Amino acid sequence: MARIEVPMPQMGESIAEGTVSKWLKKVGEAVQRDEPILEISTDKVDAEIPAPSSGTLVEIVVSEGATVEVGTVVAYIDSDGGPPATNGKPAAEAAPAESKPAEESSPREPTPSMPLPPPASPPPAAPSPAAAPASSAPAPAGAGVQAPDSAEERMRTRSTPVVRRIAEEHGIDISAIPGTGHAGRVTKNDILGFIESGKEPTRPGQTAVGTAPAPSAAPSSPAVVTSAPGTATPAPAAAPSELWERFYGEVRHPEFPIRSADRVEAMDKIRRLTAEHMVVAKRIAPHVHSFIEIDFTAIDRIRSANRQRWEEQGARVSYTAFVAWAASRLLREFPMVNSTVSGNNVIYRGNVNLGMAVDLNPGLIVPVIKDADELGLVGIARKLVDLAERARSRQLNPDEIQGATFSITNPGVLGTLVGMPVIPKGTSAILGTGAIEKQVVVVQDPATGDDAMAIRKRALFSLGYDHRIVDGADAARFLARLKEVLDAFPEDA
């Protein structure tokens, strides 16, 4: 008869053991392939384990409450459906030697030797400002802080099981790696970074004593070279998803030496989030910028003619309001400019939500005019003033800085000719508006049809776009339409 092993399955890359919480089937019961036969629990997760094959559950090896390593056989199924093995050991005392009583590795209190691995990417807003100055020192964190304990001790206290497994696969001595984790612990990122830095030997199983940078490098202790238990296949050192996370999710800013006259300050939250966002946004989207010159003469005329009326309505209609109005109308014509690449898909946004960059001096925040295409010129103007004022007095609601589908930034307000803005993550384009200045331009004399010089108010606009989804010609058409609308701005907007 075919006796099939039921191993404690690998339920995750960093999961080294599991506790049998409940047997759903008894010895002698028939089981179907993929039918749940037991429940296991690891930290905060209960999981059902399906039968690997149909047949009869003939022996339960690991009893409820026992914790065993991944790969340990927990039961046997007889695929021929024969009677239960009469010589099967009683379940209660058959737990293998390495299993521990449940209390020792209770999910709610991980033991020190079995700490949870650190999260794959650090929480964006986690580090406390107080900690930042310390970490800006050029020395690697954790190095030199550790007491000179034995290599084995250091190995045990300075790493997690997953790190040890990766180390073992690559034949790396963990004690040689500067740890950035809690108490100088070597995190998964540390070891992956170390591997990527090319300091490791390529053949698994080889100890990297010679190549390790630290003088304290000691041969791997037996505890470290113990092979992965049972039939479990060790996870690859850097799964593609892991690299993905690290590249697109995690931002680490390199550190630089501090000179004597320097001042070091921790970044405040807005700065830190901005820094992270900019790095990620640039990593994600291949940026291209196109430029066009806009004539504001018509808009200037409309502004002068209506200023008094608008003031009576309590509205201040800025040049930016005109631009936002025009852009919000055009985005419906150019869905790719109001979209985002998401995986292998493109999400075309159903709303037109304009992110309007506001200079907080210092700092930058981008409040959002929701459904701008449903607002008239004066409505947009009012919203702009309101958002900018509340942004500066730090009174924006969180939902007012979320959900932008397209953004406008105005470097021109301080006289800059034009900018090349970064496309906010999750959108496909951003419009930069340059300083509006009087220029002498060549126009056609309407009376004679001859070339003539005229004084016009003009500005350079730039469109930064994600070249994955917006082609150069799309951008050109969008800018040309924008010019068309703004150059001859409708009186009734």
Residue in 108, 203, 259, 263 binding another protein, rule: CB under 8 A: 108
Residue in 81, 84, 124, 234 binding another protein, rule: CB under 8 A: 124
Judged by beta carbon, residue 269 or residue 332, the one nearer another protein is 269
Judged by beta carbon, residue 4 or residue 302, the one nearer another protein is 4
Give yes or no for residue 338 binding another protein (CB under 8 A): no
Q: Map the footprint of another protein across residues 408-447, applying CB under 8 A.
A: 426
Smallest distance, another protein to C-beta of residue 246, A: 12
Residue in 1, 26, 33, 34 binding another protein, rule: CB under 8 A: 34
Stretch that binds another protein, among 114-122, 202-210, 255-263, 438-446 (CB under 8 A): 114-122
Residue in 1, 2, 30, 45 binding another protein, rule: CB under 8 A: 45
Give yes or no for residue 117 binding another protein (CB under 8 A): yes
Stretch that binds another protein, among 40-48, 133-141, 220-228, 459-467 (CB under 8 A): 40-48
Residue in 113, 241, 313, 439 binding another protein, rule: CB under 8 A: 241
Give yes or no for residue 125 binding another protein (CB under 8 A): yes
Judged by beta carbon, residue 240 or residue 449, the one nearer another protein is 240
Q: Please tell me the count of residues contacting another protein according to CB under 8 A.
A: 58
Residue in 262, 399, 450, 492 binding another protein, rule: CB under 8 A: 399
Residue in 90, 93, 123, 144 binding another protein, rule: CB under 8 A: 123
Give yes or no for residue 142 binding another protein (CB under 8 A): no
Residue in 150, 226, 313, 402 binding another protein, rule: CB under 8 A: 402
3-state secondary structure the chain: CCEEEEECCCCCCCCCEEEEEEECCCCCCEECCCCEEEEEEECCEEEEEECCCCEEEEEECCCCCCEEECCCEEEEEECCCCCCCCCCCCHHHCCCCCCECHHHHCCCCCCCCCCCCCCCCCCCCCCCHHHHHHHCCCCCCCCCCCCCCCHHHHHHHCCCHHHHHHHHHHCCCHHHCCCCCHHHCCCHHHHHHHHHCCCCCCCCCCCCCCCCCCCCCCCCCHHHHCCCCCCCCCCCCCCHHHHHHHHHHCCCCCCCCCCCCCCCCCCCHHHHHHHHHHHHHHHHCCEEEEEEEEECHHHHHHHHHHHHHHHHCCCCCCHHHHHHHHHHHHCCCCHHHHEEEECCEEEECCCCCEEECEECCCCEECCEECCHHHCCHHHHHHHHHHHHHHHHCCCCCHHHHCCCCEEEECHHHHCCCCCCCCCCCCCCEEEEECCCEEEEEEEECCCCCCEEEEEEEEEEEEEEEECCCCCHHHHHHHHHHHHHHHHCCCCCC
Give yes or no for residue 115 binding another protein (CB under 8 A): yes
Residue in 4, 6, 8, 15 binding another protein, rule: CB under 8 A: 15
Active site residues: 467, 471
Give yes or no for residue 101 binding another protein (CB under 8 A): no
Give yes or no for residue 59 binding another protein (CB under 8 A): no
Q: Map the footprint of another protein across residues 258-287, applying CB under 8 A.
A: 269, 273
Question: Any idea what the Cα angle at residue 381 is, between residues 380 and 385, rounded to 5°?
Answer: 115
Give yes or no for residue 118 binding another protein (CB under 8 A): yes
Contacts with another protein, residue ranges (CB under 8 A): 11-15, 21-22, 34-36, 39, 41-50, 102, 106-110, 115-121, 123-126, 128, 181-182, 240-241, 244, 269, 273, 342-345, 347, 397-399, 401-403, 426
